[in-house]
Amino acid sequence: MNSPIVRDGALLIFRVVLGLVFIAHGIDKFFFPGMDDTIGQFSAWGIPQPQIFAWVVAVGELAAGTMLVIGLLATFAAGMLALLSALSIYFVHFKNGLFIEEGGFEYAAVLCVALLMVVVFGSGRASLDGVLSRVES
């Protein structure tokens, strides 16, 4: 199980699934409640500068999620998304307890820790980062 092909394949699947989750959340913020409702929701949660932060989160989820899927600057993208996840835990979820059914932090914590795994282990060879690092060598 410790062969490079298995490790890189697992990292590829891991990265793509994480990226798609964040792309879906970004699309949701932009189109399904819409940015006006998203800003209102951020304001109701007490997030400072909700107009700015809602746009940063929505664009960040789309852009960094896409970067994770293709594996371009994946450790940077994962770090940025981990920071956004940690902020969502702090501002929104922590006060609601553990369980997601009650608005708790379990889902955001799992996403944050999963993103940290990409930061620590990188994007793998099956990524644009991997391809570009081999071209430079």
pTM, to two decimals: 0.91
Give CA torsion, residues 81, 87, 33, 110, to 10 deg: 60
Q: How far apart are CA 65 and CA 92, in angstroms?
A: 21
Residue 47: both structure tokens together? 């997030």
pLDDT at 130: 87
Which segments of the chain have a pLDDT < 50? Answer: none
